[in-house]
Structure 1
């Protein structure tokens, strides 16, 4: 089983404390080595001074009666100012060596044979050496010789040097331990406060993950608090990024919800539109079958033929209505896929004249006006589909306005765009349906009541065709002033053709 991974806070603390500990250890080693070298050098200088003195003292004591090494050492030190920790060993010619050490209390214990052996071995190859005596203590010793040939070994205790270094190590260890504890506490607080925005991000993400996003209406209201999402800090920018992401997801969910609701309405409206002609077809079919069953009766022959003819006419009318509806739905689907448009050079001036001319006979009780430039307005597009746009807009204005309304179709250019406007001075569009005006199966209110039994797809088709040409369509309406504006990109300048129509009101 794999080990549990450490948290980011634990890894950061371990890295910081480990790095600082390494630095402190290196500093302690360098400091101790430097101080130890300095103390040893000082002790060596003192030893050289005392070695010269002890050699002189021994040389002065030699003329006395024959003395042992210990007696000679004690006689040499007699009356001298001797520092505590001094070691003096004397090796007279032809005699075994002996010596004494001076303690801090002023006593002079004799060196053992083991001590003398260690001194002899240490100084055999070197004039100055560090010796650890079996009787206790570490000494820095040096060897000299009197004029008479007596060998003198002088040493100074290293206890002060070792004590100083030990105290230094103790102070460094305690200071390092205290500093590391303080560093650990400070680092833990600093990292904990620094990572608090990340914890807020994780908590927010966890709450969002726990929301049931598969329900019908979903809104993500969870956000990282503003004080935890400061864009001036690196961790704060994570909170800002998550809030931005949640805003986008929330917008996408809202858009998805709107699309689903629109799709449900679309399916319901399409089902309603198809159910009416299908019910008519079924009813008239049943009527025809009943009539045909009675065709053998001479008394009912004429009446049967009349009712059958009427039923077949109604069946044909409803079939045509259903066919138009299905064709409109198919056209919208193809336009949504970017298909169905067959582009060629189109003269919008001529197209506007033809569209208004076709619309006039359908509503002789309306006043029709046409305002177009004298020169052709050319663009690249599908002439048939653009004509359908104008026909739908003119039919919409005619259908939803009362008799006597003036309907004006105008065309002009601005920059690299052509602008078509269909204006009427009718009652206007209800503000409640204005936002859904170009939706599929959209219906107007009673002020623009549907009179012809249209499917509600005309404006949706017009919008899809215009957008397929890279243009835009919008509606602006107030009582007595309703305008549908279509903006289309113009084609590259070409040689102008003869004017398709004069700028004058249609007759």
Structure 2
């Protein structure tokens, strides 16, 4: 009987982030921009509301004070003939809320115009009013329990030393100011809310390129770029790239960076492929002479052992002859391998900027000497040369430049049939010395033309030693020309193949160069 499986322990919930931690978290650019803009606008609107309220309050108080003075001018003739304040107020039509305090024969009396008519004030209210008059405020206010705040002023009674007090309620002023402040607050709140929505939309649209940049960078970061054929196809969409905006410039800069990184990765992959092919070709080239050396050495050793065991003179002579031939083949293969290794070493040193001894070089003389050396090696070819009457001089390594011309002539001799015409020309064109090697052979296969100057490249795909060579001649020529800050190119079609070398030359007229 099997026991039931034990239930998995419950997964504890992830701890919630505290409020303090959330507040310490860096704000997004959108949040900072919205906070800054809305805060500044809110501050401006609040200051405008406060300033407007202060100015309006001052205006309303001034108007109320003028109304008090106007009401007092209407009451002044009446207080002489009436004994009480309520009788004075009942004798005319005065604004609702008008307060009158007067000192007559019957003593202090006070009354106010209410909605239901004139109402006399109590002794307590009168005492509070009298106490407020003792303040130094030129326009005192009185807070009556049942009437509210009043703005009061004292005026002299005509024909006597007595005074009377006239006041109007402050409720109209405070009500107006309160309504204005409420309106300003509501309008400000609504405007800020609308502003927040508009700013959020504008900022979100404005930051779209930055978000696209972040998303593109994230996708690129997720790619595995350690090895293999890698191509970065991720780019910021073209509609978000705008050189006239800051965010668009960031997007454009990222696209440019990705283009260069993609080109670098492509170049790296190509270099890796060239290196693998170079190692394979070098291994093949070295394997053949090493195998030959091993075979002939084993053959020589076997013949020598057989000669030691056999006392026959005839077999001894045969063994000696076999050993001699094997040693000759070993020497030939050793020389071939030595040449190959020296060529590889030369290419490596040229890549490092070494192996050049600069001096004054006459390119015309080098061409004549190279053609003279090529005629005995290719007697079945027709060799012609076209050089100017004046020397074409340049600063360079004479032996290495001679090697360039010799390699080009050897290439023409090897890959053209007997009877072909090979022409060498030298010219001074502007600030360059130009060497051209032309032949009327079958031309270069277009499939190998783009790789002609690569190492171990061959126009003949078969690795025949008579036609294919080691495949380093043209690559050495290009390395030497590049080291001289020149260029080497080839144009080819059936019956018309031309290798052109351009090198920085000395001025044709030394006097003209001196004046320049």
Q: TM-score, normalised by structure 1?
A: 0.91
What residue number does 2:14 align with? Answer: none
What residue number does 1:153 align with? Answer: 165
- TM-fit CA distance, 1:78: 2.5
Q: Which runs of 5+ in 1 are unaligned?
A: 63-71, 497-507
Match of 2:252 among 240, 243, 262: 240
* Structure 1 residues 212 and 49, CA gap change in structure 2 (3 angstroms): same
What residue number does 2:75 align with? Answer: 54
2:176 aligned with 1:164: yes
Q: Distance in 2 between matches of 1:383 and 1:184?
A: 77
What residue number does 2:101 align with? Answer: 89
- TM-fit CA distance, 1:386: 0.8
What residue number does 1:8 align with? Answer: 29
Q: Distance in 2 between matches of 1:313 and 1:472?
A: 41
What residue number does 2:13 align with? Answer: none
* Structure 1 residues 348 and 125, CA gap change in structure 2 (3 angstroms): closer
- TM-fit CA distance, 1:29: 0.9
2:115 aligned with 1:104: yes
Match of 1:137 among 129, 135, 148: 148
2:395 aligned with 1:380: yes
- TM-fit CA distance, 1:53: 3.2
* Structure 1 residues 384 and 252, CA gap change in structure 2 (3 angstroms): same
Q: Distance in 2 between matches of 1:306 and 1:100?
A: 156
**Superposed CA offset, 1:197-228 (max 9, x none):** 22122212211111222231111111111211
2:374 aligned with 1:359: yes
2:211 aligned with 1:190: no
- TM-fit CA distance, 1:232: 3.1
Could you say what secondary structure the match of 1:61 adopts? coil
Could you say what secondary structure the match of 1:456 adopts? coil
2:332 aligned with 1:317: yes
Q: Distance in 2 between matches of 1:203 and 1:281?
A: 61
* Structure 1 residues 118 and 295, CA gap change in structure 2 (3 angstroms): farther
8 Å CA contact 2:488–2:499 kept in 1: the answer is: yes
Q: Give 1:391-406 correspondences, 5 Å limit.
A: 391-406=406-421
8 Å CA contact 1:444–1:450 kept in 2: the answer is: no
Q: Distance in 1 between matches of 2:450 and 2:360?
A: 33
- Greater RCO (Cα-Cα under 8 Å, separation 6 or more): 1
What residue number does 2:486 align with? Answer: 471
**Superposed CA offset, 1:227-263 (max 9, x none):** 1113333322222222222112111111111111111
- TM-fit CA distance, 1:57: 1.8
2:404 aligned with 1:389: yes
* Structure 1 residues 429 and 119, CA gap change in structure 2 (3 angstroms): farther
- TM-fit CA distance, 1:434: 0.3
8 Å CA contact 2:132–2:142 kept in 1: the answer is: no
Could you say what secondary structure the match of 1:295 adopts? helix
Q: Distance in 1 between matches of 2:192 and 2:212?
A: 29
- TM-fit CA distance, 1:369: 1.1
Greater CA drift, 12-21 or 290-299: 290-299
Could you say what secondary structure the match of 1:84 adopts? coil
8 Å CA contact 2:392–2:508 kept in 1: the answer is: no
Q: Which runs of 5+ in 2 are unaligned?
A: 1-20, 512-516
* Structure 1 residues 166 and 115, CA gap change in structure 2 (3 angstroms): farther
2:39 aligned with 1:18: yes
Could you say what secondary structure the match of 2:202 adopts? helix
Could you say what secondary structure the match of 2:79 adopts? helix
Q: Give 1:72-83 correspondences, 5 Å limit.
A: 72-83=84-95
* Structure 1 residues 112 and 455, CA gap change in structure 2 (3 angstroms): farther
Q: Distance in 1 between matches of 2:270 and 2:151?
A: 95
**Superposed CA offset, 1:270-310 (max 9, x none):** 11101111111112222222223233232242222112111
Q: Distance in 2 between matches of 1:446 and 1:176?
A: 84
**Superposed CA offset, 1:36-60 (max 9, x none):** 1111001111111222333432222
Could you say what secondary structure the match of 2:361 adopts? strand
Q: Alignment RMSD, CA only?
A: 2.1
What residue number does 2:132 align with? Answer: 121
Q: Give 1:328-347 correspondences, 5 Å limit.
A: 328-347=343-362
What residue number does 1:67 align with? Answer: none
- TM-fit CA distance, 1:412: 1.6
- TM-fit CA distance, 1:374: 2.4
Aligned length: 486
Could you say what secondary structure the match of 1:85 adopts? coil
2:238 aligned with 1:220: no
8 Å CA contact 1:430–1:445 kept in 2: the answer is: no
Could you say what secondary structure the match of 1:369 adopts? strand
What residue number does 1:504 align with? Answer: none
8 Å CA contact 1:132–1:139 kept in 2: the answer is: yes
Greater CA drift, 285-294 or 30-39: 285-294
- TM-fit CA distance, 1:121: 3.0
